[in-house]
Amino acid sequence: MRLVSRVRSLWTGLRARASVEKDMSDEFASHMALRAADLTRQGMPPDEARRRASLEFGSAEQFRDEGRAARGLRGVDEIRFSWLDFKLGFRMLVKYPILTLVAGFALAFAIWVGAGAFEFVYQVVNHARCVTSPTGSGNSGPSRNWARGAASTGTWSSRTVAVSP
């Protein structure tokens, strides 16, 4: 039964979003009005009671976002935002096709340069980690490719010696 009510809530939120938003706004307003009436009964002036109820209630937009998230509509809101971006981007593509192509190539070039720079730095750092000195002062990673006595004699061995931490 829980799944059915969740799907129904999601479907209502998708199909009748304006109605759901209006219902939430009405509910928020009624909560603030009830709290203001309660404060007025306690002896507070009506203007001060409305202001205090609004302060106690907090941001209505935060509660709207939480309500959307509880109904599973946050992803739909993000898609709608992305759809707007797509429509505006397509409109600009049609209106200024050369500018759009130049911007696209500029972005591709910038991504290529950035990836190349990171790859270069990775290769330099990775190469520096693989090179070891016979004295053992270099950072060689998990193993060294020299025999136990090679540090003093300077001779290299093909045998791999595990380094204990």
Please report whether residue 126 resides in a domain. Answer: no
Count structural domains, the chain.
2
**Per the domain annotation, does 150 fall within a domain?**
yes
Q: What is the pLDDT of residues 111-148, one digit of tens each?
A: 999 999 999 988 888 876 655 555 555 554 454 444 44
Domain of residue 85 covers: 2-95
165 and 87 housed in the same domain: no
72 and 6 assigned to the same domain:
yes
Do 11 and 59 fall within a single domain? yes
Contact 38, 101 (CB under 8 A): no
Average model confidence (pLDDT) across the chain = 76
- 91, 159: one domain: no
* 115 in a structural domain: no
Of the pLDDT bands very low, low, confident and very high (cuts 50, 70, 90), residue 95 is very high
Indicate whether 8 belongs to any domain.
yes
Query: Domain check: are 89 and 138 in the same one?
Result: no
105: tokens are: 């190539």
